[in-house]
Amino acid sequence: MGGTLNSIYSNVSFALQLHTKSMMRLQEQASTGARINRSSDDPSAAYRILGLESQQRALAKYTAKIAETTDTLEIGLNVMQNMSQVLADEKVRLSQIISGTYDQAGRERVAEAINDALEQIVSFANARHMDQYLFGGGGTSSAPYQVQRENGRIVGVTYQGAADARMIEVAPGVEAGAFHVGDSLFCVQNRGRSSVYGETGAAVGSGTSSVTGTVWLTVADANTDGTFELSIDDGRTWVNADGTANQAVVDSRTGKVLFVDTTGITQTGVDMASFEGTHDVFETLISIRDLLFNDRNLSEGRIDELRNVSMGALDEVRNLLVEKTTSVGSKVGFLDRLREMLEDIQYNTEDEASGLRDADITQVAIDLSRRQVLYEMSLAVAGKLISISLLNFI
């Protein structure tokens, strides 16, 4: 008899405990809205959810990097477009200078405007975003362009930034550069034909000159024996012409070399040596400004000739800038599409994790109601079973 009552009590207690646990779990799901609140609720699904949540965090990190990179690129793109517009305006000014329309005073006014444009271009090239320089490549902590001045005017602009762009991983296995190498944006690097424009008879030598863009070659009398001396740094240093077809003349300011064919030199003067495919934005504006100020006392005819040469150089650097602007715009478009793709993946990942984790509240309510009915029925049955006494067996 005692064993029977103990068995009844144990079975009733176990059944009530199971119902209680089930009701507590359902009530927890109803209150949290989650089917899985701890890994023990469904180990397999919990492991899958952890993996999906890790993927969500990684995708969120990548989309944030893309947004930051795109923002930086768009600011740089805006700066480049402004620079291109400045160059277009200067081309209009230069094209308006026609012999007979502008006298020297008029040309000097245009030269002053070009000097202001040069200052603006340098400011653009040293633009910053979030205390990082946009056009210094990987070197974003210091100004990429260093300016040399004489008498308050810019006479040289030197690139001091990094040779490589700083790459940012914006997706698994995908990198993008947000900070440009200015030297590749503002300097044409496709060396072509070289020419000397002037009346001295000098020509470009057969050696590979290291000078780029536009160089002023000054030819002066060395002495009374009819020989000449040459300078490409405005008379700071001189070298005697040796009558060869490939004489090296060094710029003491930059260390760059111009090889000169001196065999045809017949008179003194100032010539312009121009190297196609090597012009940069700053050197081009400096050369045009100096040409219009005419500190070298060139004739009207020479100024017109060299103005046309300078127009070609200005077109060269502006075309490069337009090309690079288009390239950056394409990169911004690519990053926008990549961000949209990652956001779609992130949404699908979140949806999958939510499907595994979230509870069906309607089903939970039905199950909870059923469990409550079963619990109450179990209590009623247990009450009757436990109330059995010895009299029930007599």
196 backbone dihedrals φ, ψ, rounded to 5°: -115, 125
Look at residue 163 in the predicted model and tell me its pLDDT. 85
Look at residue 385 in the predicted model and tell me its pLDDT. 63
What is the identity of the amino acid at 349?
T
Look at residue 364 in the predicted model and tell me its pLDDT. 64
Burial class (CB in 10 A: 0-12, 13-18, 19+), 232: buried
Look at residue 18 in the predicted model and tell me its pLDDT. 76
3-state secondary structure the chain: CHHHHHHHHHHHHHHHHHHHHHHHHHHHHHHHCECCCCHHHCHHHHHHHHHHHHHHHHHHHHHHHHHHHHHHHHHHHHHHHHHHHHHHHHHHHHHHCCECCECHHHHHHHHHHHHHHHHHHHHHHCCEECCEECCECCCCCCCCEEEEEECCEEEEEEECCCCCCEEEEEECCEEEEEECEHHHHHECCCCCCEEEECCCCCEECCCCCCCCEEEEEEEEECCCCCCEEEECCCCCCCEECCCCCCEEEECCCCCCEEEEECCCCCCCEEEEEEECCCCEHHHHHHHHHHHHHCCCCCCHHHHHHHHHHHHHHHHHHHHHHHHHHHHHHHHHHHHHHHHHHHHHHHHHHHHHHHHHHECCHHHHHHHHHHHHHHHHHHHHHHHHHHCCCHHHHC
Which of left, alpha, beta for 47 (phi over 0: left; psi -120 to 50: alpha)?
alpha
Look at residue 258 in the predicted model and tell me its pLDDT. 94
Q: CA 251, CA 254: separation in Å to the nearest integer?
A: 6
- pLDDT tens, per residue, the chain with 394 residues: 455 667 766 776 777 777 677 777 767 667 776 666 666 666 777 677 677 778 888 889 999 999 999 999 999 999 999 999 999 998 888 887 765 566 778 888 889 999 999 999 999 999 998 889 999 988 888 999 999 998 899 999 999 988 888 888 888 888 888 888 988 999 998 888 888 998 899 999 988 899 999 999 999 987 666 789 999 998 899 999 888 899 999 999 889 999 999 999 998 999 999 999 999 999 999 999 999 898 888 888 888 888 888 888 999 999 999 999 999 999 999 999 999 999 898 888 877 766 666 666 677 677 777 777 777 777 776 676 666 555 555 5
Look at residue 332 in the predicted model and tell me its pLDDT. 92
Look at residue 297 in the predicted model and tell me its pLDDT. 85
CB-CB contact of 187 with 275 (8 Å): no
Look at residue 174 in the predicted model and tell me its pLDDT. 86
Residue 110 structure tokens: 């245009």
Q: CA 209, CA 191: separation in Å to the nearest integer?
A: 11
* Cβ neighbours of residue 126 closer than 8 Å, sequence gap 6 or more: 133, 135, 143, 144, 145
3-state secondary structure 39-82: HHHCHHHHHHHHHHHHHHHHHHHHHHHHHHHHHHHHHHHHHHHH
Look at residue 106 in the predicted model and tell me its pLDDT. 82
* Cβ neighbours of residue 109 closer than 8 Å, sequence gap 6 or more: none
Q: CA 93, CA 103: separation in Å to the nearest integer?
A: 14
What is the identity of the amino acid at 322?
V
Q: CA 257, CA 250: separation in Å to the nearest integer?
A: 5
Average pLDDT over the chain, rounded to whole? 84
Look at residue 5 in the predicted model and tell me its pLDDT. 61
> How, if at all, do strands 145-150 and 194-197 pair?
unpaired
